[in-house]
Amino acid sequence: MLHSVLCLLFVCGIGAAEEEDGATEDAGSFVEITPKLEAAVEHGLSWLARNQAPDGSWGADGFSGQYQMAMTGLAGLALLSAGHFPGRGRYGSNVQRALHFILKHQDHNGLFTCPSDAQQMYGHGFAMTFLAEAYGMSGDGELGASIKQALARAVKVTQQAQSSRGGWYYSPNPSNDEGSVTITQVMALRSVRNVGIDVPYKVLEQAIEYIRKSQNSDGGLRYSLQSSQTSSVALTAAGANVLMLAGQYRGSQTQRACDYLKKNLDPRHTQGYHDFYTNFYGSQAMFQLGGEYWARYFELMRGRLLKSQGADGSWSSEIGRTYCTAIGVMILCLPYRYLPILQK
């Protein structure tokens, strides 16, 4: 297995974690879910529930109400990741209201968007992933039928917005593309396909090829295929995760991307402005690898999240509390393994 190879390479990055940081020496003795983790998850979920708008949405605090669709998708995913299904669990009604909000805001072309949304394809992608994961966990009845129909229409939008190079851009504009939006669409399409809704194979194939071609010689990924930028830890974390979600576990490009993360993704230190984004995808990549690599990463990341959670249950940065709290909850909930997309 790929993670067995990587476990032999702990010479820097995560592998350099010292004993005082709490790094686990034996993955077999590592306990993923602790009482402190469970309390932090509940505290974060409570904050999200209290800050849900009456219409079922969440907004991006600090961005004048922009990114409403993206924030609703992410917050909804956080609730699902803790095992709260539509109409079931303490926050089941919150999940249901979020689903209805997104379904209500699908335009006639199939795009999930709100009037105040900036960078619409982010919102479209996260909304698709949320709907598909909810459908996969509890897709029965009238709501399930509505979700299935909406996702079929949404896939067509994503297909039509794909550029000739295989990527996507901030708006549904097939003449341009960049890496972070491309990752969002691939993850959404993978989630949709997992629950039995048709996604043309060629669309995913071209998208995966876009990610592969965006890899630099050091194993990291750059911002976009046509750029000549240096590698980005954030884009490499996202790209490695998506490659594995697409079943590319043993390919040389996946291994090189993971080697790059091993050297550059250290959960003890923030990754600047993109810290939560980086660890959102980085944690999923480490989870997919499993074994000692996951144990070392998660124990350190869990410790940092537990220490940095606010008294009100939220996490915050310049990106805003809704975004950070949703991602913080999802990272801590990875060991619960509730989301269908996490199943290999």
Q: Which amino acid is at 319?
A: I
pLDDT per residue as tens digits for the range 139-159: 778 999 999 999 999 999 999
- The two structure tokens encoding residue 94: 């919150």
Which residue type occupies 35? P
12-36 mean pLDDT: 58
d(CA 268, CA 301): 7
Do residues 221 and 236 touch, judged by C-beta distance below 8 A? yes
- pLDDT band (50, 70, 90) for residue 28: low
Inter-CA distances, 138 with 81, 84, 104, Å: 13, 10, 19
**Which residues lie closer than 8 Å to 18 by C-beta, 6 or more apart?**
none
Q: Are 128 and 158 in contact (CB under 8 A)?
A: yes
DSSP 273: G
Average pLDDT over residues 8-12: 29
Provide the pLDDT for residue 13: 41
Classified by CATH at the fold level, domain 2-7+37-342 comes out as Glycosyltransferase (1.50.10)
Strand ranges in the chain using DSSP code E only, listed in sequence order: none
Average pLDDT, integer, range 77-88:
93
Instruction: Pick the more confident residue, 283 or 249.
Output: 283
Q: Tell which wins on pLDDT, 188 or 248.
A: 188
**pLDDT exceeds 70 at position 1:** no
Specify the residue for token string 């949405």: 57
Q: Write the CB contacts of 175 (distance below 8 Å, at least 6 apart in sequence).
A: 163, 169
Domain definitions of the chain by residue range: 2-7+37-342
Helix (H, G, I), strand (E, B) or coil at 123: helix
Integer Cα distance of 284 and 198 in angstroms: 25
Q: What is the pTM of this model?
A: 0.90
pLDDT average, residue stretch 92-110? 97
Average pLDDT over residues 262-288: 91
Give the per-residue pLDDT at 63: 57
Position 173 scores a pLDDT of 93
Rounded Cα gap, residues 191 and 187, in angstroms: 6
Q: How many helices (H) and strands (E) does the chain have?
A: 13, 0
